[in-house]
Chain A
Amino acid sequence: RKEVEQDPGPFNVPEGATVAFNCTYSNSASQSFFWYRQDCRKEPKLLMSVYSSGNEDGRFTAQLNRASQYISLLIRDSKLSDSATYLCVVNMEYSSASKIIFGSGTRLSIRP
């Protein structure tokens, strides 16, 4: 089982739609969670951190469920510019160090 797994995608939705991605992680000791966005042939950019209580930033809402070990990202009123690959990132704590693990990404395509 992969340490971080994401919806495979691709998601192809019309502009204005609401779309949600899930990401599961295997290490229950994981401490920090993030969603990154990566445009084609570009570096990833931090979209938002994911806090235990859930957090919202404009049209984006991130939630964490520690009991079920997953995080989610909800995008409301999607725009054409939201088309990108969304990466789930988990900071996993091990006995001697912590380790950043990237999910394989979910491709989102917004159509007019």
Chain B
Amino acid sequence: GAVVSQHPSWVICKSGTSVKIECRSLDFQATTMFWYRQFPKQSLMLMATSNEGSKATYEQGVEKDKFLINHASLTLSTLTVTSAHPEDSSFYICSAGSGEVYEQYFGPGTRLTVT
């Protein structure tokens, strides 16, 4: 099956710093990648849809200047949490689809803790 990796798997950073999370599709080309956030005991909330070569589409309530998304190639999308604050602490998960079959393959997630 398709494999999606994320790096780092967990990160602790100080308030005010920026953190970059990478999402890679290892054995297929992903025209579309999705970024989700999940708080404890809650479901995944879609943050944005990342399309290769174009700007990301952000969901309502998600600040695009705070959560910078870059999808420069068909196998890599990055999410940068800028000026992170403790309330940004969460589990960030990416997923990727090939665009043909609308099934998503999830990365293992990145646990971000902002102190």
Contacts and interface: CB of A to CB of B under 8 A. Distances in A.
A98 B51 CA distance: 13
A9 to B, nearest CB: 12
A69 interface: no
A21 interface: no
Contact of A43 (B42, B46, B103, B108): B108
Q: How large is the interface on A (under 10, 10 to 19, 20 to 34, 35 or more residues)?
A: 20 to 34
Please classify the interface of chain B as helix (H, G, I), strand (E, B), loop, or mixed, using the class held by over half of its residues.
strand
B43 A105 contact: yes
A98 B42 contact: no
A102 interface: yes
A91 B102 contact: yes
B67 interface: no
Contacts of A41: 91, 111
Nearest to B109: A43
A34 B108 contact: no
Interface string B80-115: 000000000001010000000011111111010000
A105 B42 CA distance: 8
Interface of B: 34, 36, 42-46, 49, 57, 91, 93, 102-109, 111
Task: Please name the 3 residue pairs, one residue from A and one from B, whose CB atoms are nearest each other, closest first.
Answer: A43-B106, A104-B43, A102-B44
